[in-house]
Structures are given as C-alpha cells and as structure tokens.
C-alpha cells in the first residue's frame, strides 16, 4: 500500500499534487511519502511484536539523511555497508547502538571510525576480515561486538544479480566452516561474539527460501551454544520483495514473515534483528519525469522522457519492471497503446519498458514510475553529464526538497585541471 493516489484526476503524493512538485522542483525528480515509509516500518515492527527485536533499515535502499531521520525517529536502527552510510545514519541522529555494519570489504579505516563512534555490531564476512577487526579493536583497546554472516547455500529464487545466499556468491562463510570460524573469533583479542547473521538475497517473493535458511540458522545456534558461544542475537538480513507489477504479483506480507520468524527461531530466546530496505522504501517513492518527444519508429512508438538510466538504473541493470503511469489520470475507458519508454542517454540499454500499454501521452506531460523509492536515487549517476536527480519528501500537505539538483557549475567544478594542461 502507498500514498500515491489519483484525486480529482491528478496523481497526488499524500495531499500534494505531483504536478505541483514537478513545477516547483523540475523533472526528473524523486518524490517520497513520509506516511508510506512510516507505515512500512511499523508493519515490520509490529510483525515481530512480542519478540525482542530491532528493525535496522538497510540504508543502501534509500540513504537520504532525511529518510534515515524519519525512520530513526520512529525507533529504527540502520544497516550500513560503508563509512559513508555510517556517517549518514549518525547525521540522521541514529545512535551507534542501533547501527549494524555489513558488507564483505570493510576497511580498517571504516572499522576504526565505527568503533570510535559507537556500533551495535559488525557482521563479519570472512576470516581475514575477522583478523583485521581483531587487530584494529585490540590496538584501540576496545571490544568489537560481532556476528559472523553464514552462507546457508539456499536458492533465494530471485534475480541472479541480487541473490546472495548460494555457495557460489561472495557473501558469508559456508555453514560447514562456521563452527571453526566462531572458534577462531572467540580466540582472537578484541572481538566479542554476540550472534549470527544471514542475508540470502533481495526481492524474494516466497517465504520458503527464508524459512530454509532460518532453519539452518536455528540448528547452528544450538551447535554454537553447545560449543560455548554466547549467541544472543540473530540478524536475519532483509530481502522481502514488493509488488512491482501491481496487476499480477502479491509477495508475502511482513506479518506472514513475522509469523515464520517466530515459528523457526522464536524458541531460541534470541533478540531478532532484520534489515529490510526495499519493503520499507520501495513503494514509498516515485520518479517523476516529463515526456520530451513522441517519436514514431518502425513498428513501434517511442516515448522519450527526460529521465534516463542514470536516474533509475533498475530496468537496464536487472530488467526490472516499474509501473509507469500518467500524472494526469486518463478518463475511464481510455484505450491504451504500446510504447517503448526510453531516456535520452546514448545507449539502447536506456530503455525503461518495451511495448508498454499506456494511455496516449503527449510531449510536455508528466509520467510517474512507481515503486522507485528503493535502489532508485541511491544508484543514480551523472552519466552523460546529467546532474544527480533531486529528492523531495512529502508529509501531508507539505513537501520539502531533501536533496537539491546540483547546478551545472557545481557538477563541473568538481573536475580539476592539472597544472601542466
Ligand atoms: N542486508 C544486506 C546485508 C543486504 O545486502 C541487503 C541488500 C539488505 C539487507 C536489504 O535488502 P532488501 O530488504 O532491500 O531486499 N540494487 C538491487 C538490490 C540490491 C540489494 C543488495 N542488498 C535492486 O535494485 O534490486
């Protein structure tokens, strides 16, 4: 569910007409709904209800400090994967004790900053990383709370580029090596084992792979406890999918996910951490774009937009589907016609949709990409010399620019000339 609905024929973000924001800020522009972000956070929080738990929003999905602050103020923690995300979470007022640090390549510098600034735990992904953290923490004279991310070798049944839980993926330590890895971690100075971490992939539309992975985590918890480790937290990662194509998909709801977590892990008495990104932010954001040209091709018509693959890369990168709707509601019964919907970037991959049935749309009109709140703005680039797309947050009848569009001067001024040129 989201808060982007047509009212009196005009698409609204909560109580604000989308066209009003586009007129004020220009296009392309990302627009987020505070009510939707809040609602989705609460769904997870309530789904885990009586279990001791912490919902750590995966900052990689939508890392704007305003979004992190909104969620942090509701009690969310953050899952970060770089010093940049750590600092953004801190700038948003999220305390270190609610921040978990994930990722396969944490540098010593990042470890040092997080240890100095405060951190709930590091999710370790390899033995070399474990040894590096031990050295950094010991040198600083502190103890780093750690989990080890295990790779349960389950098929998440999602797009290959975002599946992470198979043995061929770079993530985590194989289950077969987990007991040895925990034994080593326990023997190293500067580390304090607090739990187990697992994350098998993103945009999962079925609970079965989660359940298979969590059953393995439950077994491992018992085995590690028998080995004498103090396993008090289980970090289950993120991954629950959203209905990108509203007409034909209905992934499981957070409440069903919560029941499954309770069923598989509830008896262990552990604190549960989850790291949802997409389900909190995905349907809380639109990308709004203006149609520049309608070009009649051979056997197809192209809608050429002012948004491009540099602004929203998901279709080019994962063949992802985003619903694309006109900002002015077409009258009931309007016939659709197929369009190839493309951006101005100079490669054929800059295609958002092929033969997409759309009501007739004219140059100058606005369209909105739905479900663009997660992995949208954060993955944007300046490819083709296009300044980074701005972001706007709506709450009720007010909106605010939460990242402005850089000027061309700003973009160019970051390049510097060597003295010999
Ligand atoms: N935790 C870890 C360790 C992760 O690697 C991820 C996502 C998450 C949590 C959040 O997963 P979510 O709840 O959002 O599924 N750019 C891709 C998605 C990449 C996901 C990477 N990891 C896309 O646009 O589909």
Q: Which of 100, 267, 114 is nearest to 197 (CA)?
A: 100
Q: How much distance in Å is there from the Cα of 156 to the middle of ligand 1?
A: 12
pLDDT digits (tens, 9 = 90+) for 271-292: 999 999 999 999 999 999 999 9
Q: Give the pLDDT mean for 373-393.
A: 98
Q: How much distance in Å is there from the Cα of 159 to the middle of ligand 1?
A: 12
Answer whether 0.80 is exceeded by the pTM.
yes
> 398: how many CB neighbours lie within 10 A of its CB?
11
Q: Virtual CA dihedral for 102, 108, 111, 115, nearest 10 degrees?
A: 170
Catalytic residue among 56, 112, 270, 346: 346
> Between vectors from CA 371 to CA 207 and to CA 171, what angle results, nearest 5°?
50
Q: Residues comprising the binding site? A: 239, 275-278, 314, 318, 347, 375
Q: How much distance in Å is there from the Cα of 409 to the middle of ligand 1?
A: 34
Q: Given the CA of residue 313, which atom of ligand 1 is nearest to it?
A: 24
Look at domain 34-280 and name its CATH class.
alpha beta
On the question of pLDDT at 248 being above 80, the answer is: no
On the question of pLDDT at 299 being above 90, the answer is: no
- Grade residue 56 by pLDDT with cuts at 50, 70 and 90: very high
Q: Virtual CA dihedral for 151, 155, 157, 160, nearest 10 degrees?
A: 60
On the question of pLDDT at 249 being above 90, the answer is: no
Q: Do 59 and 80 meet the contact criterion of CB atoms below 8 Å apart?
A: yes
Bridge partners (DSSP) listed for residue 401: 392
- Grade residue 297 by pLDDT with cuts at 50, 70 and 90: confident
Q: How much distance in Å is there from the Cα of 310 to the middle of ligand 1?
A: 19
On the question of pLDDT at 26 being above 90, the answer is: yes
Is 112 designated active site?
A: no
Q: What is the pLDDT of residue 94?
A: 98
To test the pocket of ligand 1, the residue of 43, 60, 105, 279 to mutate (highest count of ligand atoms within 8 Å of its CB) is 60
SS3 assignment for the chain: CCCEEEECCEEEECCEEHHHHHHHHCCCEEEEEHHHHHHHHHHHHHHHCCCCEEEEEECCCCCCHHHHHHHHHCCCEEEECCHHHHHHHHHCCCCHHHEEECCCCCCHHHHHHHHHHCCCEEEECCHHHHHHHHHHHHHHCCCEEEEEEEECCCCCCCCHHHECCCCCCCCCEEHHHHHHHHHHHHHCCCEEEEEEECCCECCECCCHHHHHHHHHHHHHHHHHHHCCCCCCEEECCCCECCCCCCCCCCCCCHHHHHHHHHHHHHHHCCEEEECCCHHHHHHHEEEEEEEEEEEECCCCEEEEECCCCCCCCHHHHHCCCCCEEECECCCCCCCCEEEEEECCCCCCCCEEEEEEEECCCCCCCEEEECCCCCCCHHHCCCHHHCCCCCEEEEECCEEEEEECCCCHHHHHHCCCCCCCC
pLDDT digits (tens, 9 = 90+) for 159-206: 888 878 877 888 899 999 999 999 999 999 999 999 999 999 999 999
Instruction: Say how far apart CA 174 and CA 165 lie, in whole Å.
Output: 10
Q: How much distance in Å is there from the Cα of 140 to the middle of ligand 1?
A: 32
Residues of the chain with CATH 3.20.20.10: 34-280
Residues within a 6 A CB radius of ligand 1? 58, 60-61, 79, 102, 162, 199, 202-203, 237-239, 275-279, 314, 318, 374-375
Q: What is the pLDDT of residue 159?
A: 84
Q: Residues comprising the binding site for substrate? A: 278, 314, 318, 347, 375
Q: Given the CA of residue 102, which atom of ligand 1 is nearest to it?
A: 3
- Classified by CATH at the fold level, domain 4-31+282-413 comes out as Lyase, Ornithine Decarboxylase; Chain A, domain 1 (2.40.37)
pLDDT digits (tens, 9 = 90+) for 362-371: 999 999 999 9
Q: What is the pLDDT of residue 162?
A: 80
> For residue 179, what are its two tokens?
């007991």
Mean pLDDT of the chain: 96
To test the pocket of ligand 1, the residue of 57, 58, 197, 371 to mutate (highest count of ligand atoms within 8 Å of its CB) is 58
> For residue 364, what are its two tokens?
């100058």
Residues of the chain with CATH 2.40.37.10: 4-31+282-413
pLDDT digits (tens, 9 = 90+) for 126-154: 999 999 999 999 999 999 999 999 999 99
Bridge partners (DSSP) listed for residue 31: 286, 392
pLDDT digits (tens, 9 = 90+) for 69-112: 999 999 999 999 999 999 999 999 999 999 999 999 999 999 99
């Amino acid at each position: 569910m989201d808060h982007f609905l047509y009212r009196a024929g005009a698409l609204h973000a909560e109580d604000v007409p989308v066209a009003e924001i586009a007129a004020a800020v220009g296009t392309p522009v990302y627009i987020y709904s505070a009510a939707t972000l809040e609602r989705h956070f609460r769904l997870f929080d309530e789904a885990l209800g009586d279990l001791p738990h912490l919902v750590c929003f995966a900052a990689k999905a939508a890392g704007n400090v305003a979004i992190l602050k909104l969620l942090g103020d509701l009690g969310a923690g953050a899952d970060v994967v770089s010093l940049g995300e750590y600092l953004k979470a801190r700038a948003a007022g999220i305390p270190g004790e609610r921040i978990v640090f994930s990722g396969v390549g944490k540098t010593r510098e990042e470890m040092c900053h997080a240890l100095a600034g405060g951190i709930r735990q590091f999710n370790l992904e390899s033995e070399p990383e474990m040894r590096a953290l031990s050295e950094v923490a010991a040198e600083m004279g502190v103890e780093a709370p750690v989990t080890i991310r295990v790779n349960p070798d389950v098929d998440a049944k999602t797009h290959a580029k975002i599946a992470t839980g198979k043995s061929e993926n770079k993530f985590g330590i194989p289950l077969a090596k987990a007991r040895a890895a925990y034994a080593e971690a326990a023997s190293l100075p500067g580390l304090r084992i607090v739990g187990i971490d697992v994350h098998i992939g993103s945009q999962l539309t079925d609970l079965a792979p989660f359940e298979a992975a969590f059953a393995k985590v439950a077994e491992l918890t018992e085995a590690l406890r028998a080995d004498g480790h103090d396993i008090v937290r289980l970090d289950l990662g993120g991954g629950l999918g959203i209905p990108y194509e509203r007409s034909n998909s209905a992934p499981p709801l957070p409440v069903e996910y919560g029941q499954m977590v309770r069923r598989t892990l509830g008896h262990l008495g552990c604190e549960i951490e989850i790291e949802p990104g997409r389900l909190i932010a995905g349907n809380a954001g639109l990308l709004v774009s203006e149609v520049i040209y309608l070009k009649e091709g051979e056997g197809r018509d192209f809608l050429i937009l002012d948004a491009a693959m540099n602004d929203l890369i998901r279709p080019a990168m994962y063949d992802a589907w985003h619903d694309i709707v006109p900002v002015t509601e077409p009258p009931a019964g309007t016939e659709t016609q197929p369009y190839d919907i493309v951006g101005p970037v100079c490669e054929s991959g800059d295609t958002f949709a092929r033969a997409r049935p759309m009501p007739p749309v004219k140059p100058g009109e606005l369209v909105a990409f739905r479900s663009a709140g997660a992995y949208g703005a954060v993955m944007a680039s300046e490819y083709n010399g296009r300044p980074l797309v701005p972001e706007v947050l709506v709450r009720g009848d007010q909106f605010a620019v939460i990242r402005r569009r850089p000027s061309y001067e700003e973009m160019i001024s970051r390049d510097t000339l060597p003295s010999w040129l």
